[in-house]
Structure 1
Amino acid sequence: MRAISVKQPWAYLLCAGIKDIENRTWRLPEKMNGERVLIHASGGPLMPIAGHYGHLFDHPQYETLRVKMGLDFFNKELHTSAIIGSVVFTDCVINHPSAWAEKTEVLADESGLPYYGNPIYNWVSSYPILFDKPILNVKGRLSFWNYPNIGCGPDEEGVQTCNCQLAVDERFQVVALGYEYRCRYCGGKWYK
């Protein structure tokens, strides 16, 4: 399954469904639009000041955190060098209205036509999953990269079935959805 590395605390906020935008200087590749992507919390977190990450957020972001999580977020242990969850990137825009979107200045050329000088692309994040048990000691890479131990593929009937090869207790990997079971990591069907 494809993965992308994100620094903490942004990785946690994406997987928890609080941060709905991932900001990048490059456009989301078309083939990744609509695909589930693992979120790898990179090895170097942004450093808290006096044990808090408050200095990293502007007022609208801080208010979003306070409303959605209370102040519990600031006391969380954030894993690094770990795959902590997954999201689906569903769009790529410039100047999204989200509080989490970095804005790009609109410039004008000699004839007055607008253009973006150095655009920041806002990847819209949807369907977040925060793993109960992160996969620890995973070295990240730049751009999108393949993590071979998580994934699913079609069975004989074309149903996406779990092919994960993880050393994780089944209680943490499988979730019951009515009469069927699904893998929390890849989303594929789980046969008991």
Structure 2
Amino acid sequence: MKALTIRQPWAGAIAHQTKRVENRSWKLPAKHEGSRILIHAGTQLDPDAEVYGPHLGVYGAVVAVATVTGCHYSEDGTCCGPWGFERVYHWTLADVVALPEPVSAKGALGFWTPAADILTAVQTQLADTAAAI
């Protein structure tokens, strides 16, 4: 499973709000379409972000798991509600599961491969969450 680092407050909005699109300047590589990925909150706050609701306040940690379902280019940004930016690629997300406890991890640019202990910690939380339902 790969991970994707996303600046706050966007990672928190994916994990705990309704953000189901990630805005990127580059097209989603086809091999990642349909993949489950870890959503990693980066160590920096996006200075241009307009915060929608409460701020998560978590940095440098995996906060959720999601499926990347597709990618399209948007000229005007209106196709993906309030979260879509204009003149960028929209990576659509589904099946988002927020982790009960963030898992500390060092992120990277682009897709990156998490260490085995990070994957184990995430998988344990997902199993515990599923068992509680």
TM-score (norm 1): 0.58
Q: 2:58 aligns with which of 69, 79, 86?
A: 79
Quickly say closer, same or farther: Cα 1:172–1:93, change in 2 above 3 A: closer
Aligned AA (2:83): W
Which structure has more strand as a fraction of its residues?
Answer: 2
* Alignment partner, residue 100 of structure 1: 83
**Structure 1, unaligned stretches of length 5 or more?**
48-54, 66-72, 105-119, 152-163, 179-192
Does the residue aligned with 2:83 lie in a helix, a strand or coil?
Answer: coil
1:167/1:91 Cα in 2 relative to 1: closer, same or farther (>3 Å)? closer
In the aligned structure 2, how far is the partner of 1:122 from the partner of 1:172? Answer: 26
The structure-2 alpha-carbon separation of the partners of 1:167 and 1:37, relative to structure 1 and needing over 3 Å to count, comes to: closer
Alignment of 1:24-173 (within 5 A): 24-46=24-46, 56-57=49-50, 65=52, 73-74=53-54, 76-95=55-74, 97-98=79-80, 99-104=82-87, 120-136=88-104, 138-149=105-116, 164-166=119-121, 173=127
Q: CA deviation at 1:148?
A: 2.9
Instruction: Check conservation: 2:40, 2:61, Cα contact below 8 A.
Output: yes
- Residue 150 of structure 1 and its aligned partner are, at CA, apart by 6.5
Tell me if structure 2 keeps the 8 A contact 1:17–1:128.
Answer: no
Where does structure 2 lack aligned partners over 5 or more consecutive residues?
none
What is the distance in 2 between the residues matched to 1:40 and 1:167? 11
Q: In the alignment, which residue of structure 2 is the partner of 1:190?
A: none
Richer in helix (by share): 2
Q: How does 1:173-188 map to 2 (within 5 A)?
A: 173-174=127-128, 175-176=130-131
The 2-side partners of 1:85 and 1:133 are apart by 9
Deviation at 1:171, TM superposition (A): 7.5
Contact kept in structure 1, 2:9 and 2:56, CA below 8 Å: no
Q: CA RMSD in A?
A: 2.8
Report what 2:12 is aligned to.
12
Larger Rg: 1
Between 1 and 2, higher relative CO (CA 8 Å, sep ≥ 6) is seen in 2
Using the size of structure 2 for normalisation, the TM-score is: 0.81
Per-residue deviation, 1:56:
3.0
